[in-house]
Amino acid sequence: MASFLMNNCFGKSLKNVWCGASVYRYFSKTATSTHLDFDYDGPSMKTTVPGPHSQDLLKQLGDIQNVGAINFFCNYEKSRGNYLVDVDDNRMLDLYTQISSIPIGYNHPALLKLMSNPNNMSTFVNRPALGILPPHNFPDKITQSLLSVAPSGMTRVQTMACGSCSNENAYKAMFIWYRNKERGKNTPSNEDISTCMINQAPGCPDLSILSFMGAFHGRTMGCLATTHSKSIHKLDVPSFDWPIAPFPRLQYPLEEFTRENGQEEARCLEEVEDLIVKWRQRGKPVAGIVIEPIQAEGGDNHASPDFFRSLRNIARKHGCAFHVDEVQTGGGSTGKFWAHEHWGMDDPADIVSFSKKLLTGGYYHKDELQADKPYRIFNTWMGDPSKNLFLLEVLNVIRRENLLEQVTHSGKALLDGLQELQVQYPGILSCARGQGTFCAIDVCDDETRNSILLKTRDKGVLLGGCGDRSIRFRPALIFKEYHVHLFLNIFNDVLAQFK
């Protein structure tokens, strides 16, 4: 029913008009018929979600694993473009994209073609131990893919398997760099070598990494010490005594609260410097500062380019490495390939980590953060060359189809629409915010947020939650203005039920 009404709406040339007395309805702009040739033309729902087939599979898997987090089971053969199809044949417009990790939609023809090319078969079939036995084309492929989008000032990249593993190794690289700097040479003492084997200083030094309240950097032990988004991630796991600074709590829209937000950011920066000094006095110097350009899992919290520029300067002043975690923000969804490009800096960071939309994990780093000896940063796979092949093709599609421009355009339509909806539903929605299509909005409380997410899903749109009561929007880069209006209409229908 929803999609039928919407198709009728799209036939008319109405520009963001509200109408209807009892049920408010958001009429989108005309959807110019620029469908992607591999996309569907709208959601199609056969059951509520999870449907019966998903529920059967849930029981089956429940005998093997904890399935508490599973939403439903998917049919990835049938999924296309912006649409995820489930095992009950429900077709949903996906604005969450596997936790923000699908760059150019499901079953993109360019990627399918790559799979069917016989020259690529050996790369898919034989996963190498990259650190010792890389394939002949690895330097070329990594140069054409990852290095072609290297952040400013960085010519080196280390691939890894996932986001946490990338951050975990980036932290190690910062500690190794810091200790070599302290020693004034790369050669460890005999005492360093003997004490590290029993987890004691000086071999295992009391160094720290400064992170921010609300941050999410992953769930492995080191990363978890810098993750402060939700207690469920951290409970019962021993951690390090490392400094945690407040992340600015800004008021939105940012342009209306520049003075107040500036004061809040100054407060947080002051606290950062205090913590760096305090931890040095405690004998646990801060070797690195880690931060997300937009705190994602922690609630889509923004800070200004000025804040990040000042923070970068503080890191430099105190001799700490500056690590920008672009695992969620990287890959184009903010309208620039890296979110930190919005800060307008030539030397934005010492380390930039990535994963998700880049398909392979890893981190870029300055030359001096290269570990001095083999096996210090190492694991069996150290990434996967087949993912570099996919990434290369993804980058070709992004460039060929000007997807970053499209993201900026769709993102503006999305944010405008969300801002209109928050005016329409002031008791429910607030704080619409975003950069590109990397948008979010707050809901009055956690329970209403979760209920909105489920009702929207039953109407054929997938969204994600973040923070205590926010909804995050993470569509693929092929999400066009047409899809924005499709989504806004359905979202409005759902919100009307809460009014």
Ligand X SMILES: Cc1ncc(COP(=O)(O)O)c(C=O)c1O
Site for ligand X in 66-125 (CB under 6 A): 99
Nearest residue to ligand X by CB is 163
Tokens 């350009």, residue? Answer: 293
Site for ligand X in 276-295 (CB under 6 A): 292
Q: Name the one range near ligand X by CB under 6 A: 125-133, 211-219, 264-272, 472-480.
A: 211-219
> Going by C-beta distance under 8 Å and a sequence separation of 6 or more, which residues neighbour residue 390?
111, 114, 359
Q: Name the one range near ligand X by CB under 6 A: 148-156, 216-224, 370-378, 432-440.
A: 216-224
Query: How far apart (Å, rounded) are the C-alpha atoms in residues 285 and 177?
Result: 13
48 is catalytic: no
Size of the site for ligand X (CB under 6 A): 15
Query: How far apart (Å, rounded) are the C-alpha atoms in residues 193 and 72?
Result: 50
Min dist. Cβ of residue 247 to ligand X (A):
13
User: Among 216, 337, 438, 487, which one carries the catalytic annotation?
Assistant: 216
Identify the residue among 261, 355, 360, 492 touching ligand X (CB under 6 A): 355
329 is catalytic: no
Phi, psi of 469 (to 5 degrees): -155, 30
**Sign of the dihedral defined by the CA atoms of residues 272, 273, 276, 281, in that order:** negative
Pairing of strands 429-435, 464-466: unpaired
Taking the mean position of all CA atoms in its chain, how far away is CA 129?
27
Query: How far apart (Å, rounded) are the C-alpha atoms in residues 162 and 265?
Result: 31
Identify the residue among 3, 123, 159, 167 touching ligand X (CB under 6 A): 167
334 is catalytic: no
Query: How far apart (Å, rounded) are the C-alpha atoms in residues 110 and 103?
Result: 12
Query: Would you say 94 and 476 are in contact if contact means Cβ atoms under 8 Å apart?
Result: yes
Identify the residue among 216, 242, 337, 491 touching ligand X (CB under 6 A): 216
Min dist. Cβ of residue 496 to ligand X (A):
32
Task: Tell me whether residue 296 or residue 389 sits nearer to ligand X (CB atom).
Answer: 296
Give the DSSP letter string of 36-73. -TTS-SS-B-SSSSS-HHHHHHHHHHHTTS--TT----
**Is there binding between residue 168 and ligand X (CB under 6 A)?**
no
Query: How far apart (Å, rounded) are the C-alpha atoms in residues 257 and 411?
Result: 21
Q: Binding string, 307-326, against ligand X, x = CB under 6 A?
A: ------------------x-
Q: Name the one range near ligand X by CB under 6 A: 5-13, 190-198, 212-220, 440-448.
A: 212-220
User: Among 29, 141, 356, 455, which one carries the catalytic annotation?
Assistant: 356
Site for ligand X in 125-164 (CB under 6 A): 162-164
300 is catalytic: no
Task: Tell me whether residue 290 or residue 395 sits nearer to ligand X (CB atom).
Answer: 290
Tokens 């295992």, residue? Answer: 204
Query: How far apart (Å, rounded) are the C-alpha atoms in residues 328 and 305?
Result: 18
Min dist. Cβ of residue 380 to ligand X (A):
17
Residue type at 15 in one-letter notation? K
Q: Is 194 helix (H, G, I), strand (E, B) or coil?
A: helix
Min dist. Cβ of residue 315 to ligand X (A):
18
Kindly list the residues in this chain that would bind ligand X in the complex (CB under 6 A). Answer: 99, 162-164, 167, 216-218, 292, 296-297, 325, 327-328, 355
Active site residues: 216, 325, 356, 380
